[in-house]
């Protein structure tokens, strides 16, 4: 696996990584990969995030999960919907996404350091 080019600490510090709880998850029928998530980031801050995990996670299993998201990613349109962030996931040995979750429950909006 190739490592991406080095960035400065200042560049990294611009990324706002937060923990949030998935409060709703819906299939996007027109897409083979995407699901629409609404993630509670605390303080009445909710983000709609489109994630390519449809083939690997039933939507009913996603609701209630705490996940790590990039909270300050510029919005992007996909399938006519706006994604307002990105969840973090790793690929397993088969190349399938594994959603990253905190080891134990933390408050919504907790900052990843």
pLDDT tens per residue across span 43-92: 999 999 999 999 999 999 999 999 999 999 999 999 999 999 999 999 99
Structure confidence at residue 53 (pLDDT): 97
8 A C-beta contact, residue 102 and residue 64 = no
pLDDT in tens, 4-46: 999 999 999 999 999 999 999 999 999 999 999 999 999 999 9
What's the distance, Cα to Cα, between the start and end of the chain in Å?
25
Does domain 11-99 bear CATH number 2.40.110.10? no
Q: Report helix, strand or coil for 10.
A: helix
Residue by residue, DSSP assigns 47-73 as EEEEES-TTTS-HHHHTT-EEEEETTP
Residue 1 clears pLDDT 90, i.e. is over it: no
The pLDDT of residue 104 is: 97
CA 18 and chain centroid, separation: 10
Scored b (16 or more CB within 10 A) or e, 78-87 reads: eeeeebbbbb
pTM score > 0.75 for this model? Answer: yes
Answer for the pair 53, 32: CB distance below 8 angstroms, yes or no: no
Tokens representing residue 78 in the block:
């996909």
């Amino acid at each position: 696996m190739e490592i991406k080019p080095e960035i400065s600490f200042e560049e990294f510090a611009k990324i706002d990584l937060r923990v949030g709880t998935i409060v709703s998850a819906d299939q996007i029928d027109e897409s083979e990969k995407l699901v629409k998530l609404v993630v509670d980031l605390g303080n009445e801050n909710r983000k709609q995030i489109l994630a390519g995990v449809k083939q690997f996670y039933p939507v009913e299993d996603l609701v209630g999960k705490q996940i790590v998201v990039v909270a300050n990613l510029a919005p992007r349109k996909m399938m006519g919907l706006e994604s307002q962030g990105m969840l973090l996931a790793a690929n397993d040995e088969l190349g399938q996404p594994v959603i990253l979750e905190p080891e134990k429950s933390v408050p919504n909006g907790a900052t990843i350091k």
